[in-house]
Amino acid sequence: MLMKIEGLSVNYGAIRALDNATIEVRQGEVLSVIGANGAGKSTLIRTITGIVKPAAGNILFSGIDISGLRPDRIVRLGITVVPEGRRIFPDLSVKENLELGGHAIDDHALKKDLYTLILATFPRLKERLKQHAGTLSGGEQQMLAMGRALMGNPKLLLLDEPSMGLSPIVTREIFSFIRLINKEKGISMILVEQNAHMALEHSERAYVLENGRITLCGPSAEIKSNPGVVEAYLGV
């Protein structure tokens, strides 16, 4: 098992955003977390990355408890993130954005390899290396955010709403990249999505989050046919 989140609770002031969540991530899988707006999906990502400190519980990653560690330490342990809304550096070039993603990699040869590999995966970024990242299209920005996260050489990649603000066609393209990266590089992923349909389609297992609690978990194929999920998230 790659990561085990046990009894994780997070408070924002008096509001409990995440309540006693227990999640397991297996080596090499794509795990999706679906739920409505405000269900606690982004809180989960922000807690794993160390931006938010948990009130209770722990997060074991490769046997190390990372809950409460500084974000840059967690990145160095091998968890990187494609943040919600992409959050690329718009005034920096595509190349500089990618270089920043590799900030924590001290091995120069490895950094070079990652860079070459990422440009091979995303040829559209290669054509735009000198361009300011802010001038890219939404889909290209999402590719850049993914490339930037991959520059950190992750064992676990967190994707926070990768379909946000993208057209259905571009969303499909992005999800095919997610699949490709998972298959070819064997990188495990947690995929947090409001677009439950896409998320369940492209993951092995899924957790359903409601008001900060895990209400359902299992293989994505099963979750997809669960009547409650169909009614609430898949909208027939």
Residues 39-68 that bind another protein (CB under 8 A): 49-51
Residues 94-133: x where in contact with another protein by CB under 8 A, - otherwise, as a string: --x--xxx-xx-----------------------------
Q: What is the smallest separation between the CB atom of 51 and another protein, expressed in angstroms?
A: 6
Q: What is the smallest separation between the CB atom of 72 and another protein, expressed in angstroms?
A: 5
Size of the site for another protein (CB under 8 A): 23
Q: Is the dihedral of CA 179, 181, 186, 187 positive or negative?
A: negative
Q: 195-212: string of b/e by CB count within 10 Å (b at 16+)? A: bbebbbebbebbbbbeeb
In terms of CB distance, is 71 or 138 closer to another protein? 71
Inter-residue contact 191 to 33 (CB < 8 Å): yes
The CA distance from 24 to 26, in Å, is: 6
In terms of CB distance, is 26 or 70 closer to another protein? 70
- State the residues that interact with another protein by CB under 8 A: 49-51, 70-72, 75-76, 80-81, 83, 87, 89, 91-92, 96, 99-101, 103-104, 148, 152
